[in-house]
Structure 1
Amino acid sequence: MAGKITAENNFYYMTLALIVLLVSASLDMVLEIKWLDALFQVLTILTFVVCLVSLRFDKAWYRFLMTLAVIWAVLALMKAVFDVQQTDIAMMLLMFTFFFGTFKSIARQILFTGTIDNNKVVGSLALFLLLGLMWALLYLLILEFSPTSFTGMEHKAWGENFSNAAYFSFVTLTTLGYGDISPVSPFAQVVVYLEAIAGVFYMAIVVASLVGASQSNQSSVSTSQEENDG
Structure 2
Amino acid sequence: MGKRISEKNNFYYLTISLVVLLVSSSLEQVLKIDFLDVVLQGVTILNFVVCLVSLRFDKNWYRFLLTIAICWGIVSVTKAIFPIPMMDAVILTLMFIFFGGTFKSIVRQILFTGSIDSNKVVGSLALFLLLGLMWAILYLVILEFSAEAFTGMVQLPWGENFSNAAYFSFVTLTTLGYGDISPISPVAQVIVYLEAITGVFYMAIVVASLVGASQSNQEKNDG
Aligned position for 2:173 = 173
Aligned position for 1:219 = 219
Aligned identity (percent) is 70
Note the alpha carbon deviations across 1:26-76, whole angstroms, 9 max, x for none: 113432212333111111011001000000000110111001001111222
Letter matched to residue 32 of structure 1: K
Distance 1:33 1:172 in 2: 27
Aligned position for 2:202 = 202
Aligned position for 1:46 = 46
Aligned position for 1:141 = 141
TM-score (norm 2): 0.96
Aligned position for 2:100 = 100
Distance 2:55 2:3 in 1: 16
Letter matched to residue 108 of structure 2: R
Aligned position for 2:37 = 37
Q: Do 2:183 and 2:189's aligned partners in 1 also have CA atoms closer than 8 Å? A: yes
Matched, 1:192 2:192: yes
Q: Do 1:29 and 1:160's aligned partners in 2 also have CA atoms closer than 8 Å? A: no
TM-score (norm 1): 0.93
Distance 1:42 1:28 in 2: 15
Summarize the alignment of residues 66-105 of structure 1 with structure 2, pairs less than 5 Å apart: 66-105=66-105
Aligned position for 1:152 = 152
Q: Do 1:8 and 1:119's aligned partners in 2 also have CA atoms closer than 8 Å? A: yes
Distance 2:36 2:137 in 1: 20
- Residue 35 of structure 2 aligns to a residue whose secondary structure is helix
Provide structure 2 residue ranges, at least 5 long, that are not aligned to the other structure: none
Aligned position for 2:183 = 183
- Residue 197 of structure 1 aligns to a residue whose secondary structure is helix
Letter matched to residue 81 of structure 2: V
Letter matched to residue 145 of structure 2: F
Distance 1:99 1:23 in 2: 17
Letter matched to residue 74 of structure 2: V
Letter matched to residue 209 of structure 1: S
- Residue 137 of structure 1 aligns to a residue whose secondary structure is helix
Cα RMSD (Å) of the superposition? 1.3
